[in-house]
Amino acid sequence: MLVHVLAQEFGRDGIRVNAISPGLVHTGMTAKVYADPRISAEREALVPIGRIATPEDMADIILFLLSPKARYVNGHNLIADGGLTGNLLGRLPGMSQIKRG
């Protein structure tokens, strides 16, 4: 909702406001999970495109949103999860290995 409100608020000033909601991304925080080949394979099998995202995947999305090619995109939350949807996240193999906080 914040993205929508800010997009309406600042759009007239030429400022676009968008967000990215990433799915599974192999990062330093999740490295311990993906070190287990079984868990890694199980997670990849859940993602319809068949692989876990990299930080570079997310960077490419940011570059697109910042580029002139996205000049008319404003107030959008781009879900970048390879097709994986919200209610699967609680059932992902290896969730107990990710420390929160």
Q: What is the mean pLDDT of residues 64-92?
A: 86
Please tell me the CATH superfamily of domain 2-97, with its number: NAD(P)-binding Rossmann-like Domain (3.40.50.720)
**pLDDT 10s digits, 18-65:** 999 999 999 999 999 999 999 999 889 888 888 999 999 999 999 999
Cα–Cα distance, 81 to 52 (Å, whole number): 9
Cα–Cα distance, 44 to 101 (Å, whole number): 25
Q: How far apart are the first and last CA of the chain?
A: 24
Report pTM.
Answer: 0.79
Give CA angle at 54 (50, 59), nearest 5°: 125
